[in-house]
């Protein structure tokens, strides 16, 4: 007589919760991404650990990290979820694609980590990302060219707080003055600045702040994107107003040292036109990752 215990398959919801916690390194962010509570996530993880007979996560008051067994299980867990999604995709007429626009002032050097976390949350999702100015992304979303957009809402010239129109707030993004290490402005001359081409909200803030402070300035470089402006900064051409997340590695905040005026912060929001469960879940993962890094 066969007395072997009956086979019990893994709970895919629990595996998904584990992958999210491992990817975001946070029960709170994983709960936000799944639209549930920390206690519900904890319960799923406990049941998964009980099923596997292994401790997958080490929990401390300040951080969540993988145990050795959890690190070994993470890639197979991702492959399991990918196989599940592939099986479902075989029943669909076309692959599932999500087109997201991200402001070039917001994307910054954290973009690879953000995309890795998005991919980790749904390995079978095809993601298309377009980087552009917020004003352009808003129009693309209205024309149906994007499923969602992450925008920086620049405050108007009068300093009022801009209305957050039909957007989910992510974080408040500051601006600062950046220059190459050791860079000094030419003595007695106007301040050389590198900017994006007009119209650009950040450029407008920078020149208005300089004018209000009575600081003479001259444009020495006009870039077609934040990456180009960052390259001009590192080349020592001048200073630039940039969000810290978008400043190139190696550039320094020189505003206080050079006596440059303070620049306004702006809210960053998500605007979305998606209504299917899978896209909403992917965006929730992205939102949680942005907030974790914000």
In the prediction, which pLDDT does 213 show?
Answer: 94
pLDDT at 91: 54
pLDDT band at 2 (very low <50, low <70, confident <90, very high): very low
Whether the CB-CB separation of 220 and 272 falls below 8 Å is answered with no
Q: For residue range 156-189, what is the model confidence (pLDDT) as tens digits?
A: 665 555 554 557 888 888 999 999 999 999 888 8
CATH topology of domain 12-89: Arc Repressor Mutant, subunit A (1.10.10)
Say what percent of the chain tops pLDDT 90: 22
d(CA 72, CA 76): 8
Look at the block and give the residue holding tokens 């080490």: 58
Do the two domains 12-89 and 176-263 of this chain adopt the same fold? no
Q: Is residue 92 over pLDDT 60?
A: no
pLDDT > 50? residue 1:
no
* Superfamily covering domain 97-172+267-293: Periplasmic binding protein-like II (3.40.190.10)
Q: What is the mean pLDDT of residues 26-50?
A: 83
Q: Is the dihedral of CA 34, 38, 42, 43 positive or negative?
A: negative
Please state the domain extents for the chain. 12-89, 97-172+267-293, 176-263
- The DSSP output letter for 276 is S
> Where does the pLDDT of residue 93 fall: very low under 50, low under 70, confident under 90, or very high at 90 and above?
very low
pLDDT at 90 over 60: no
Please state, in angstroms and as integers, the Cα–Cα distance from residue 85 to each residue in 21, 22, 70, 104, following that order: 19, 19, 22, 31
Q: What is the mean pLDDT of residues 191-198?
A: 90
Q: Which fold has domain 176-263?
A: D-Maltodextrin-Binding Protein; domain 2 (3.40.190)
pLDDT at 214 over 50: yes
Cis peptide before 199 (omega within 30 of 0): yes
Q: How confident is the model at residue 19 (pLDDT cuts 50, 70, 90)?
A: confident
């Amino acid at each position: 007589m066969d007395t072997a215990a009956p086979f019990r398959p893994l709970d895919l919801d629990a595996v998904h919760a584990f992958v999210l916690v491992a990817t975001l390194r946070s029960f709170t962010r994983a709960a936000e991404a799944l639209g549930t509570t920390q206690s519900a996530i904890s319960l799923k993880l406990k049941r998964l650990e009980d099923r596997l007979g292994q401790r997958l996560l080490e929990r401390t008051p300040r951080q969540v990290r993988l145990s050795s067994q959890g690190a070994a299980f993470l890639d197979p867990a991702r492959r399991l979820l990918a196989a599940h999604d592939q099986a479902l995709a075989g029943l669909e007429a076309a692959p599932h694609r999500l087109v997201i626009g991200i402001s070039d002032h917001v994307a910054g050097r954290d973009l690879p980590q953000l995309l890795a976390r998005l991919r980790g949350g749904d390995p079978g999702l095809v993601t298309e990302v377009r980087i552009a100015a917020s004003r352009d992304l808003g129009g693309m979303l209205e024309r149906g060219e994007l499923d969602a957009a992450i925008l920086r809402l620049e405050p108007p010239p009068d300093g009022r707080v801009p209305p957050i129109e039909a957007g989910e707030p992510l974080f408040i993004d500051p601006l600062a003055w950046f220059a190459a290490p050791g860079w000094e402005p030419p003595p007695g001359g106007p301040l050389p600045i590198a900017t994006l081409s007009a119209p650009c909200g950040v450029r407008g803030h920078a020149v208005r702040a300089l004018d209000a402070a009575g600081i003479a300035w001259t444009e020495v470089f006009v870039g077609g994107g934040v990456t180009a402006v960052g390259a001009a900064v590192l080349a020592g051409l001048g200073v630039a107003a940039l969000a810290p997340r978008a400043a190139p590695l190696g550039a320094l905040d020189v505003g206080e040292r050079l006596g440059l005026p303070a620049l306004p912060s702006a809210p960053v929001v998500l605007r979305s036109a998606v209504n299917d469960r899978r896209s909403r879940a992917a965006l929730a993962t992205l939102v949680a990752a942005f907030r974790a890094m914000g």
